[in-house]
Amino acid sequence: MAEEVILRFDEVTFEYQHKKPILDEVSFNIHKNAKITLMGQNGAGKSSLFALIKGDYKPKSGNIFITNGATIATACQVMAREDMDLSVEQYFAKAFEIVPTNLASKISKALDVVNLVIPTDRRVGDLSGGQQARLLLAYAIIQNPDILLLDEPTNNLDQAGIDHLLQFLIMYEKTVIVISHDADFLNCFTEGVIYLDVFTHKIETYVGDYYSVVEEISQRVEREQRKNAQLEKLIKDRKEKVNFFANKGGKMRKLAKKMKDETAELEEDIVDIRKEDQAIRKFTIPAQDISGEIVNIKSIKIIHDHEPVVKPIDKIIRKKTHILVTGPNGVGKSTFLRSLVSGKNEAAKILEGVKVGYYSQDFSNLDFNSTVFDSLCSVLQDGVDKQTMRSVAAGFLIGGNLMDHKIGDLSEGQKGLLSFAHLVLMEPGLLILDEPTNHINFRHLPIISQAIDEYEGAMIMVSHMPDFVKEIRIDDYLDLGKI
């Protein structure tokens, strides 16, 4: 018996701007209960494809078929700003057209799936990034959808959270489509890949686990490159002969015409080799010329049993000192970093005059209404011209075509790369990095880790990605779960 198709795209074309397609006559099927990875370069339109599946966007042409009214729920990348003031209970109530009488029981079960224990009267905006990530997952899970869409679900999750999510997905008996840059996570449960090409705006489908598909794609590209090289050599040889025979006249001229037609057919056989994601250029984050005690921490506020507790410590951070802040989700890591950046933490003082470069896990330090150009100009140092600024931005794949875009219109990956461009241009004396791998394509991570490793200023970092951290020099640790 053939597998039942639950979702089908039939020659779907979609665009935001006229003649700038995101999808161009795309067709593909997803079978019921499949576990599928959606791949594509930053800005290719993966989140837009999710929005089309949900019905939030309508295609310009073509049709999208959802079989038998299958229900759909999405775990988004980031918490919507309008939800930050809701209580946890109010947030979950939004998932239902009619709020069920057993909502409390449903919330308890959904939170248990994502291994999260929090009071339901807690304000969503008061939760840590990791807790919000789990809440986003639980919000989708509580709806028990036929099609579960996960958009970067491992962002901000510690290893315990990732393990719980994997266990749930492996046992989940319905359809799952996931966008993620976490290759190890994907390889554990997905059984096929849908690839959205940012250059051709087409979809390619593959069957197999994640690593097998990536290898298959790589081998296919190599084969196409070799075939094209052979064809191009043959075409060049044929054209030289065509030119030679065309000047001889008579039968030779007829032969030249025949060879010219054959050459045109050969040119049609040259395939468009899919371009892989461009990697960002290698970069350096210049450090402000400053010395002495850059940060002096006398105490730190942590969350224990959902209540804030102040713990005395004595930590001095000097130039060239790299500190990793660790601890479970919800202990207060991001809150501590935000308090440092704000300058309102009386127990943690930053030396006056130190420029602080902050990478926020939710990009809350970026003005979403500002254009990319104005945002980059705002961090330019004296003596740095706008041409240099544009060059730095281009190294992070932020070209002239994006300069007039509002930051809020960028993909999450593009916001991350913009944040790194900020750090390069501002030349900070202190780097504060809160989950700097969030939303970043895995191809960029070795380049980013090298730049952070070589940074000559003081650094305080939170990261739940061990493979990334091990590439960076760490001089000291601050474990909030053990102080």
Burial of 131 (0-12, 13-18, 19+ CB in 10 A): buried
**DSSP letters of 126-163?**
GS-HHHHHHHHHHHHHTT--SEEEEESTTTT--HHHHH
CB 114 within 8 A of CB 137: yes
Q: Where in the chain is the domain with CATH 3.40.50.300?
A: 5-213, 293-479
**DSSP letters of 178-207?**
EE-S-HHHHHTT--EEEEE-TTT--EEEEE
Tens of pLDDT, residue by residue, the chain (483 residues): 457 999 999 999 998 776 778 899 999 999 999 999 998 776 778 888 999 999 999 999 999 999 888 999 998 878 888 999 999 999 999 999 999 999 999 999 999 888 888 999 999 988 887 888 889 999 999 999 999 999 888 877 777 778 888 888 888 889 999 988 777 888 888 888 888 887 788 888 888 877 787 777 777 767 777 877 777 777 787 777 777 767 766 667 777 677 777 777 666 655 555 555 567 899 999 999 988 889 999 988 887 777 788 888 889 999 999 999 998 877 888 888 988 998 888 888 898 899 999 999 888 889 999 999 999 999 988 878 888 999 999 999 998 889 999 999 888 889 999 999 999 999 999 999 999 988 787 778 899 999 999 999 999 999 988 889 999 999 999 988 888
Burial of 380 (0-12, 13-18, 19+ CB in 10 A): middle
Question: What type of residue sits at position 467?
Answer: D
Architecture of the CATH domain 293-479: 3-Layer(aba) Sandwich (3.40)
Give dist(CA 185, CA 181) in Å, integer.
9
Q: Which CATH class is domain 5-213?
A: alpha beta
pLDDT value of position 1: 46
Structure tokens at 215: 């290898």
Structure tokens at 178: 């996931």
pLDDT value of position 189: 83
CB 41 within 8 A of CB 50: no
For helices 412-426 and 386-395, what crossing angle results, to 10°?
130
pLDDT value of position 249: 66
CB 115 within 8 A of CB 164: yes
Structure tokens at 39: 């791949």
pLDDT value of position 277: 56
